[in-house]
Amino acid sequence: MGGMGSSTNMSSMMMAMMVPYLHFGPGDHLIFEAIKPSTGGAVAGAGIVLIVFAILERLVAASRRAQEVYWMRKASALKSLAASQAGIAGLAEKRFDSPVEGCDDRELRIIAPFNLKHDVIRGLYHALQALMLYALMLAVMTFQAAYIICIVAGLGIGEMLFGRIGRGVKTHASLGVLC
């Protein structure tokens, strides 16, 4: 019986610590147990940190897109250089009956070939972005309305600043075909 009472006290104490609805009050743990803004100023400081962190997440996403565009342009330049070195005689022998005009059936690719250097960097970008998004998610899960507002504002500001980077480029990758 004594064990049952202590478990009930523990669960009621846990419910007192975690507020399961949106609120503005201080005292919520932010990501780690040691980070617990307990005054209004501390909550405001945590909000500023979350805004900056959300802006940085959008910067990481933009740099990832820019890197993809750079790799695509570099591959396209190398391909056109190789085609120009092959000469016009090589073009006369090419078949142009593929679904994409100017691409030989033997060269039609759905995905880019594996490149260890590029794919390791792409994986690191993805892992960093996932880590940042999960950290933002944990802050949202506190149900602290000020944190949620700061995160949404930071993501919006970051998208406004960096959202155009690496977008709107007409490449074969954006069309779904790599030649």
pLDDT, tens only, 149-158:
999 999 999 9
Which element (helix H / strand E) includes 112? none
Neighbours of 12 (CB within 10 A): 9
pTM of the shown model:
0.73
Token digits of residue 43: 């909550």
Span of 62-66, 113-117, 156-160 with lowest mean pLDDT: 113-117
Nearest by Cα to 172 from 88, 100, 93: 100
Instruction: Check residue 74 and give its pLDDT.
Output: 86
Instruction: Check residue 79 and give its pLDDT.
Output: 79
Instruction: Check residue 137 and give its pLDDT.
Output: 97
* CA dihedral over 112, 116, 117, 122, signed as positive or negative: positive
pLDDT for residue 171 is more than 90: no
Instruction: Check residue 19 and give its pLDDT.
Output: 79
Token digits of residue 118: 């590029």
In this prediction, residues 101-128 reach a mean pLDDT of: 80
Select the more confidently predicted residue: 87 or 162: 162
Residue with tokens 């600043």: 161
3-class secondary-structure state, position 54: helix
Which element (helix H / strand E) includes 77? helix 40-93
